[in-house]
Amino acid sequence: MYKTKALFHPEPLPFDTYIPENADKLILGTFPTKESLRKFKFFYPNTSNKFWRILAGLQGKELEFLKGDEAVDERRKILDKLNLAISDMGHTIYRQNESSLDANIFPVEFTNVFQIIDDNPQIKTIIITSSTKGTSVLSWFLAYCQLNDVTVYIPKKPLIPWETLIHFNNKTVKIIVIYSTSGATYIEEPKLVAMYRLAILFNKTSEKI
């Protein structure tokens, strides 16, 4: 007998959005890696991803803990010092074949990013951490904006990093699009560090819209 049913299963986002008291920026990923690869219960839990190493480096530090509750506490302190909130665009997803590839996860429900900003009006910037065609933070964010009748202008041939502005509920929020820190990213780490430093510490990018 031939099989015809795709191997999907639903997953809710396992972590709550983390918002430091003085956060003025929100950084967004897609969705956590599969559970077997998670080293701690927080965002970017796969240690092969350079995300936390880069953020620690912005403070001139190296990561001390790579797993467990101590790793979560260390990463929350990093975000506190950077005034940086964090979440993922996927609130509920379907995952295919237990894969961690973005291409094999499909959003069922998005995180309510605009509500986060309504509840935390000091957040004036959203940082998008991937923008490839198909499954990416940007593609999911654009779909979420479309659901809420919010227009996002994208240049025809954007050079990463780039930025734009969106307007909703009498608010104006800056969107900064940068490269992913995934192990699959071909961008050299020093360039990633410089890009994240500009976006997080200085809110500057190379191409403004």
| DSSP-assigned letter for residue 59 | T
Torsion of CA 43, 97, 103, 182, to 10 degrees: 40
Q: Domain 27-208's class? A: alpha beta
Give the type of residue at 29: G
The residue assigned the tokens 């790579």 is: 66
- Write out pLDDT tens, residues 29-67: 999 999 999 999 999 999 999 999 999 999 999 999 999
Torsion of CA 35, 102, 199, 144, to 10 degrees: -100
pTM score of the predicted model? 0.92
Question: Which pairing describes strands 162-168 and 171-177: parallel, antiparallel, or unpaired?
Answer: antiparallel
- Write out pLDDT tens, residues 149-197: 999 998 887 788 999 999 999 999 999 999 999 877 788 889 999 999 9
Domain ranges for the chain, please list them: 27-208
